[in-house]
Chains A and B, each alone.
Chain A
Amino acid sequence: MLVLKLIQSLIKTLHSEGTPGQVAAGIALGSILGLTPLLNLHNAVVFALIVVLNVSFPAAMLGWALFVPVGFLFDSAFDTIGRALLLGTPALRPLWTTLDNAAVAPLTNFNNTVVLGSLVCSLVFWLPLFFAARRGVVRYRATVADRIQHSRLYRAVAASKLYTVYRLFRPEP
């Protein structure tokens, strides 16, 4: 069921009326949800951005789903990076001390090695991911999109109730 939903989401996202930039921005924002541990305050902000900004919502969900396993896979590296930033970089210690003793900031769990490491990595890779995704969407629409759009599978997906829900959040022109 999950795989089916993923396929639906993938197809609909790639064939959405949104621009490649909107789809790519959605994927890049969704990647932050997937790469970092979900239940953290910064992800509420990211989710709000996905909803409020005119980016592709399904693309964001796709990005989230795609990058969850990546996040699990690189947890060890995130831990190392976070440890280096929090404990191995004395120059940053005043910043962490200020944040740790400020209001609200500690609620983001920035002082957790995995949270900080994954957030920093997802922010660093946000722009490269955005441009790569945009290029990929453009190439896809120019090459195989038309054939898939006329396939039975696509028509079946498009006719489903899920598609109706999706249309509510599709990017505005």
Chain B
Amino acid sequence: MRVALFRWKAIGPLLLVGVVGVGSWLVFADRIAKATAQAVGTTLVGARVEIDRLHLDLPHGRVEIRGLTVASPFEALENLLQADALVADIDPLPLLEKKVVIDRLAATGLRFGTPRLTDGRTGGRSDGVMGQVTRWGEQLQVPALALPTGTINIDRLDLGQLNTPRAAAALAARADSARLAWEAGLGGLDVTATVDTAKRLAERLRGAKATDVRLLGDARRALEQVKRAQERVLGLERSVASGAAALQGGVAGLADAKQRDYALARGLLKLPGLDAPDIGAALFGLAAVDRFQRALYWVQLGRRYMPPGLLPRATPGPSRARRAGMTVRFPRAHVEPAFLLRTAELSVELGAGGAAPRTYAARLSDVTTDPTLHGRPATASASAPGFRLGAVLDHVRATPRDTVAASLVGVALPPLRLPSLPLRIEPGSGTVALSFALQGDQVRARWTMQSDRVRWVRDSGAAASATGDVIWRVVSAIATLEVSASLTGSVTHPRLGVSSNVDRAIADRLRALLGAELAAAERRVRAQVDSLVDGQVAPVLAQVEALGGDVTGRLGGQRAQLDDARKALEQRLRELTRLPGVRLP
């Protein structure tokens, strides 16, 4: 029986299914696009992205978004931004290639840092880029300033932590090796036998005749032996001298190790030095690190989603019941990027010191997932009275260069809690500026904050202490605040520097107040280090000292014996062979 290949009567239902499918898409396209945009945005930012309404108008190449809210990936109950409306003019043809090309985007009613009711953060602090940035921030060690208690704690010193005992043991081992080597060298010289032979021959020459050729030959051979022995002694002396110098270097190294141990023990005082930079780092270091972390987060996100080059790029696949897998993109030269935002005109609302928000214009251009394809760096700019922003993310070439600079004048500055003190600064309105440049792996950043009307608030629950009271008296008289923090070096090994007018004032007062106590504590830890290491260092020093002197002395004695024997032998030979025209060699 022949079976038909096609089921013609099913064409109708299939077409019906197709029509229903297209109809469903038309009905649900906005919802699908909204869900997709929310999911993609949430993945990109690392915090919840919410959209009130999204409308796709593909025939006119337009997408409208109403009520966009992007939660902050850093703060639990804060939005990164909110926008009333976004209207994008998109190019429909690239959509067939699953590419999004936005010719122009207009955003109105952009507001930053608005409050929210729920935590919008999606990733943990240890996940993805946030995890990298968190770990990066943790390596920037900010010293703790334990002032309010007025006491200086000294932790118990552990012998295993100290450098000097290890250095002393190593030096003792080297001294032992040198001693063994030099003893072997001394034994190998065999000076006594050579000297004895030379003396015996000198005696025999005393009554000998010049015609006794055999005796003269023996004497000359003995003289050669003495000379060779002298050369060996000289060689060993040189070796001993250089070895002794090396051991003395080791002794100097012991002194260096001890200085390091003093520094280590001083660190256990749990008090930074009384230099202003240390105090500045202790007071404002955490706040500065927080700002730099945020800047680095956005730059690293940019590098992750806007990488240079045309190599295949794997990103996590879509979230679904099945395993997500990886989605790999294969960029090709001379075609459209997977995502391109040519220009965006943004209308930003900024409040200045509690005043009614004012509207500023900002511009964004050339934001793309394939900067190498597009050939132009992404830029952002905004300029208004009291507000400036400029950013260039140049990922066109192999080494990415990211530069961001922003400054706000007359903006309400957030309160700062000083981690080491029971104090809080309410800076009021002031000026804040941040510049952040990352070229390849090299970072150069600066954060400054200035305010003329600072208000200091003391934590009422904190225990009273003499030092705390002094600090309170010092800072509460300061009406202005000037903080400057810098970050330099590589991303993997950054260097943080912080200074402020507050730490300079505190440093001056602390020197007067805590200087004596700190000096006494330092003396105590030095004595503690001495008591731990001196017992191990002294025998080694004595061993090195004795070793050099002993070997040098013995070598000197042997050299003197050889010199005497050589002189006696040469004199006898000269007397015996004193003939006209004859010279002994």
Contact = CB atoms under 8 A, between A and B. Distances in A.
B98 A54 contact: no
Interface stretch (B231-239, B318-326, B402-410, B505-513): B318-326
> Max chain B CB contacts within 10 Å: which of A19, A107, A112, A169?
A112
A52 B320 contact: no
B312 interface: yes
A78 B322 CA distance: 11
> Max chain A CB contacts within 10 Å: which of B312, B322, B326, B335?
B322
Q: What interface size band does chain B fall in?
A: 20 to 34
B516 interface: no
A120 B449 CA distance: 59
A154 B187 CA distance: 109
Nearest to B9: A172
Interface string B433-471: 000000000000000000000000000000000000000
Given A53-B7, A87-B314, A79 B325 contact: yes
B490 interface: no
Contact of A112 (B1, B6, B327): B327
B39 to A, nearest CB: 14
Q: Is the interface of A mostly helix, strand, loop or mixed?
A: helix
Contacts of B3: 19, 21-22, 54, 171-173
Interface string A11-44: 0000000010110000000000000010100001
> Max chain A CB contacts within 10 Å: which of B1, B9, B324?
B324
Contacts of B324: 114
Interface in A100-130: 100-104, 106-107, 109, 111-115, 117
A17 to B, nearest CB: 11
A18 to B, nearest CB: 8
Interface stretch (A69-77, A136-144, A145-153): A69-77
Nearest to A108: B98
B13 interface: yes
Contacts of A4: none
A154 B515 CA distance: 98
Given A93-B330, A101-B332, A37 B7 contact: no
Interface string B361-395: 00000000000000000000000000000000000
B330 A114 contact: no
A86 B328 contact: yes
A19 B2 CA distance: 10
B119 to A, nearest CB: 30
A37 B324 CA distance: 10
Interface string A51-66: 1111000000000000
B272 to A, nearest CB: 50
B97 interface: yes
B97 A52 contact: no
Nearest to A113: B325
A51 B93 CA distance: 31
A101 B317 contact: no
A111 B330 contact: yes
Contacts of A100: 329-330, 332
B477 interface: no
Contacts of B98: 106-107
Nearest to A39: B320
A114 B323 contact: yes
Contact of A87 (B7, B96, B312, B317): B312
Given A37-B322, A51-B7, A54-B6, A111 B1 contact: no
A37 B332 CA distance: 27
A71 to B, nearest CB: 7
B325 A114 contact: yes
B319 to A, nearest CB: 12
Contacts of A52: 6-7, 10-11, 14
B4 interface: yes
A137 to B, nearest CB: 14
A93 B330 CA distance: 8
B96 A104 contact: yes
Given A54-B5, A87-B312, A97-B332, A112 B317 contact: yes
B21 to A, nearest CB: 8
Nearest to A100: B330
A103 B7 CA distance: 30
A48 B326 contact: no
A93 B7 contact: no
A128 B463 CA distance: 80
Contacts of A109: 327
Contacts of B328: 86-87, 96, 111-113
Interface of A: 19, 21-22, 37, 39, 44, 48, 51-54, 71-72, 75-76, 78-79, 82-83, 86-87, 93, 96-104, 106-107, 109, 111-115, 117, 169, 171-173
9 contacts: A19-B3, A39-B320, A78-B325, A87-B314, A101-B335, A102-B97, A103-B97, A114-B322, A117-B325
Given A51-B10, A106-B98, A111-B327, 15 more contacts: A39-B320, A52-B10, A52-B14, A54-B6, A75-B322, A79-B326, A100-B332, A102-B97, A106-B97, A107-B98, A109-B327, A111-B328, A112-B326, A113-B317, A117-B325
